[in-house]
Each structure stands twice: as structure tokens, then as C-alpha cells.
Structure 1
Amino acid sequence: AGCSQHCLNGTCVCLEGYKLKADAKTCEDINECFLGAYHCIAGQRCINTLGSYRCQRVISCGTGYELTDSNKCEDIDECETGTHNCAAELECQNTAGSFRCRPRVQCGVGFIQDALGSCIDINECLSVTGPCPSGHMCFNTVGSFTCQRHSVTCGRGYHLNADGTRCVDIDECAGPDNSCDGHGCINLVGSYRCECRAGFLFNSISRSCDDVNECRNYPGRLCAHKCENILGSYKCSCTTGFKLADDGRSCDDLNECDSSPCSQACANVYGSYQCYCRRGYQLSDVDGITCEDIDECALPTGGHICSYRCHNTPGSFHCTCPATGYALAPNGRSCQDIDECVTGTHGCTESESCFNIQGGYKCLNFDCPPSYRRSGDT
């Protein structure tokens, strides 16, 4: 009991490649490489493993190869491991030590494949030898070619008839994809003419319909403000503060006040707007939109607004008087003395007389000296 690997007749034993430690219980790995108890051929080195060792090549296998457990260099299949860099339209093909990218689609006879895998028609008529016999003309076709006798040479706008005996007019207007690119087409003998749609003009040199730049041809006559050319037509737009009228050309003043841009009052003006504030507020110098409260008490004349103390409020102010002895006058700014003797708010006794002073009162006691009597209230 207590052996790290095997126990035989009460004694601990170890597996091959291990040895018993001094405690007679634990087994530890034997380093065959350190002890020289290994068998590797020339060009290999010993690498110790648990319970054994392995031989590994001293020189690496090189790019495109990997070292196997059997100590041999085998080719890496980049296509199978996904370590190639072929594009999506190309197919990976493994080679010894590398790989190559091949087009997925194989082109048929009469076509050649480009680097991206697309099939391009071969013009057999441009080959050095020429595919047609002497006295014949070569005409390239998609994937092939045709040969015709040099009987008749046709000019531009004509081609040989089926028999190859005479030149006949080419109908450039035939089929839905005519030469006029969707415009009206009129076939002429040896040529054609385009009936261009509105906003286009026929170019007799390129034989196509060119867009007319109405903004450049009629400056200032189509739109009230700004003109932008578009294919076959034009489009009007307005500057800031205006909107396009129903006729698509004129510009009407935009009432910006409808969107309430100001914090308090708004007045629409031609092409713009102006913000205003209520009494007691002023317009912000930062944005010209926000109304800020005016601190009337902090103004240079603020010390004369109230006779005693001024208190600022949003959009206004109010005055106050000392806590006792005064009341705010009807004008809301001055403080007037309270006559406590008249209002009866004094604290004099019946034997005392009340005498009003600024901000308060005095209680006076008139006691007559001996041999005198009181002749009145005072």
C-alpha cells in the first residue's frame, strides 16, 4: 500500500522507464537522454519523455513540410488544413511542399481563362497563322469563328447578305436593345438617328443621346434660388430660411417660428427669424435664442430701486423693509414707519403714555411731584 505505481509481494516496483526513489514508494522518470541510454541515428537528437524518449531531426523539414511522430518529413496539405490563401472563386490544389490556386470553372473550346477564373472569348482571327484558307475573310464569333469569301467589302452601316454576294443595310434599331439606349430609334440607309427624350440632345458625332444641362444652358431662368442638373431634367432647391413652392421653382419664406426655436417670443422675418424676451429678461449673447433673467438688484441703478433691501426674482424683483417698525409703502419700494400708538400694537400700560418714534415707540410715565396733580394726558 502507498506505492505510486505497482506493488509486488509487499514491495513497490516501477514501470519500464521509471525508477524507485529513496522513499521506496514513489516512482520517477528515468532521463535516458541524460544517462546516454538511447539509440538515435546520426542527424537526430534525443528528447526525453515520461517513461521513455524520442529521436528528433536536428535540421527542420522546411516550408511546406512537417515532422511526424515517426521522425519523417511529410508534406503539409494546405488545402485540407485551410492554411491556403486562394480566393473564393479559385480552388486550392495541393502540391509537394506548397499549393496552387486553380479556377473552379473550366472553360470550353474557344475560350481562355484569366487569372480570376473568368472565361474570355478567343479571337481566332487574330492568330498568327489565321484559321481561314486563302481568299476568305475570318469573322470572330463567341467561342468560335466563321470564314467568308472576299467577294464583297462592305462599308460602315452595311453587312454581307447570307449568300455573301452583296452588302445590305444594318438595321441598328432592330431588337429591344437598339443603338439608342432606350430612346427612339430611326433606321437610315447605312446609318441611324436617335429620337431623344425630353432633356436629352442627339450627338451626331457619337451618335448617342447626351443629357442637357438645363442649369448651365438657362442660368437664373429656371429656379428662383439654386438649380441642380439631373439626368434628363433638373431640380430646384432653396437657400436657408426658404422652402420650395408648389410650382417646384419658386421659393417661399419659411416661418421658422412654427417650430418654436426661441425660448420665449419669436418674430418671423424674410428668410430668417428674430427671438425676443419678456419684460425682466434679456436675450443671450451666446446663442441669440435663450432668454436670461435680468438681475435688477445688480444693475448700476439697483441701489435706488428699493429704499431698504432688493430681492431679485425670475423676470422681476421685490423690495422688503426691516422686520419690525416699518411697512412697505403702496409704491412697493419705499418703507414707511408704523405708528404703534395709533394701531394699538404697543406694549404700554394704562398708566403709561405711548410716544411714537421712527421704527418703534416709547412708553412715557408722567408722575406728578408732591403738591401737584395731573392736568391732562401729557
Structure 2
Amino acid sequence: MMLTVTFLAAFVLTTVSSQETEETITYTQCTDGYEWDPYRQQCKDIDECEIVPDACKGGMKCVNHYGGYLCLPRTAQIIVNEQDAATADSAGGRNSVIRRTPVDVQQGPPNPTHQIQCATGYEQSEHNVCQDIDECATGAHNCRTDQACVNLRGSFRCQCLPGFQKRGEQCIDIDECTLPPYCHHRCVNTPGSYYCQCNPGFQLASNNHTCVDVDECGTSSYICHYQCVNEPGKFSCVCPEGYQVVGGRTCQDINECETTNECREDEMCWNYHGGFRCYPRNPCQEPYVLTSENRCVCPVSNTICRELPYSIVYKYMSIRSDRNVPSDIFQIQATTIYPNTINTFRIKSGNENGEFYLRQTSALSAMLVLVKSLSGPREHIVDLEMLTVNSLNYRTSSVLRLTIIVGPFAF
């Protein structure tokens, strides 16, 4: 490498004055590497790389420098400091002017326009600095659409997008589902990615990988008719004693009178919502005698019967707990029609708390109305009386003894 740096030698001669004549003598001298520019009236740099044949040997490149030149490897980067360059130019290109008139010394940097040579992948900046070319930003790359461009100093690299791997010159999808388990239950591969799925009854946790049980019982209070039991990945509905699960969620009454009848032979089984009861087949009490199923008659030949209802009919019914009110629950109707008679209906007993109301619907019938909701389990006995009066002021009555069994639940 050759570096030629020379300094200005200036000679300033004193001004000689003559009374007869005034002669001006001017000459200049530039240091090595500079020459006089008569147009600009100052020294300018000589470009040795242009005028010196084979200035650099051995594959080196010639780079002109203020007052000389440099031989550098072709891959070398050159950074030019403009301030230092101006200083060097000023120092190397100083003019010397000799006049007979007072001394006038002119000096200043040549301010040359100097192009530097940058290595491949670099370009000259406005500050005469070799800066990296971002091929990814300028589009000066040859990466395919399925690749990502990554800028490097002086170059760039094409790499596969996330979720893909290079095989030869191609980027192929990585099947994450074949790798060590990413997902708790099921993995679904997609181009460049994947996602996890959970089995029914589970849901993805916040990490999108783990599956956690869904508490179906906590999502709704109406999912089961009676009670919900959460299990891993599922749930089940259970019913109270006397009921069975129907359709997975609904509780239906079990008719124990058909399945496990435990009543004696002289008893009849009556099923109600949630259980059963055993009642005597002959409910009649003295002086009443049984004339047909559930019907007891007091004989007119018995003087005691003159002050008692002529007949008592025993009936049984079951209702659910907390039934909506008002609600029609039972109809009473005369079975025998007498001419020229008037029938009236009333609740004779069993309505001390005012839970019922008897509404006459015709001359021969009336409807029992529940006006206060009943909660079970409980048994409620109501006597409904029909009083018959004819035109001869003959009076008779009959009673329907209604046993109402209120179930323990509203289903």
C-alpha cells in the first residue's frame, strides 16, 4: 500500500517598492499530489488513479486520496470524513502569492466532489459513507412468496415462514401434530400452524393447549329436573326417591303400586307423586255399610242415619307440590237426578285455612278450586257435600270425602 502525503512549501518574498515603476511579480508552488488550477486560482488534487498506469498491483484497487492515492483490497470499505478531508486538502493545497503590493495569501479547501467505491451490498450515502443496502425493503431480493426476506450486512437471506421448514429449495409445512404432544386431547394441523381441540365436556384453558372439564352443573340451574352431578367430561342427573330419570334430565314418578305393591290384601294401593299409600278397601264406618267400591250408605231404616248424610263416597287424588293457583283440581257431580229438586254444593270440612273454593258449575255439578298453594309431602282430606231439596221440602245430602295427597316436589 502506498500513501503519499506532502506538505505545502510556500515562499513569501517581501514586496519591493520602486519610486519609478510598480511591477507585480506573481508565482505559485503546489505540493506533491496537487497542481495549480488557474481558473479557480488555487491548488487542486491530482487523481493518480487516472494518470498513473497500474498504480496498484496484485489485484488491489486504487482509491484516490487528497494529495495521493491508496491501494486497498477490493473488499475494503472506505469511510471518508469530510472535515478531515477538507483539512487535508487545505493543508496540501495552500497557495503562495508574491506581489510587490502588500502580501495577499489565499487559501482554502478545494471542496472536491469525490466518489468512493463501496463493496457489493453497500452504497454511498450523502455523507460519503458506505452503508448497507436493505434488499428486503427495496425489493432487490429473489425470495419466493412462501419465504421471508431477512436483511444482512451487505446481503440478505431467504428463510421459510414460521410453521414451515426448508427441504431442498422448497418450504414445506411442519405437521406439529406429529411432534411431541402439543395438545392435551386433539391436535388439528393447519398450513404453517395448528390448533387444539378438546373432547366433549371439556374446553381449552387460557394456554390454548390444556383441556379442562366443563362444569355443566354450574352453567345453568335448569339443566336437570332435580339435581345435577358433574363428572369429568360429562354430567348426570339424579332424581329423589320415588322418581326415575327419563330422557337424561327429567324426573318421572315411579308407580310403586305397579312395581313394588306392599299393601295387604284388604288394602288398596294408591300411587301419588313420589310415593304410594295403602288405604282400606272397605272405608265404611258404622252405621254406614259398603254398597259398592268406595261407596258407603247409611240405611234409612236406622234412626241414626236420619241426621247423617245418606251416602259417603271416598275418592283419592294426587297433586304436585307448589301448584300454581288458582287451579281447578276436582269436579263433583250428582249421579242421580230427581224431578223438582234443587242441588246446592258446599265444603263441609277440611277447609279451615281457606285453601279451597267450591264453584258451582251447573245444577248437578261443582268444581273444587285450589286458591292457596300447598307444599308437600302432606295429606289433606276435604268433605264436599251436595244438599238436595224438593218442592215438598224433602231434604237429603251426600258427601264426597276427597283425600288429596300433595307430593314432595313440584314435578
Which has the greater radius of gyration? 2
TM over 0.5: no
Quickly name the TM-score band, shorter chain normalised.
0.3 to 0.5
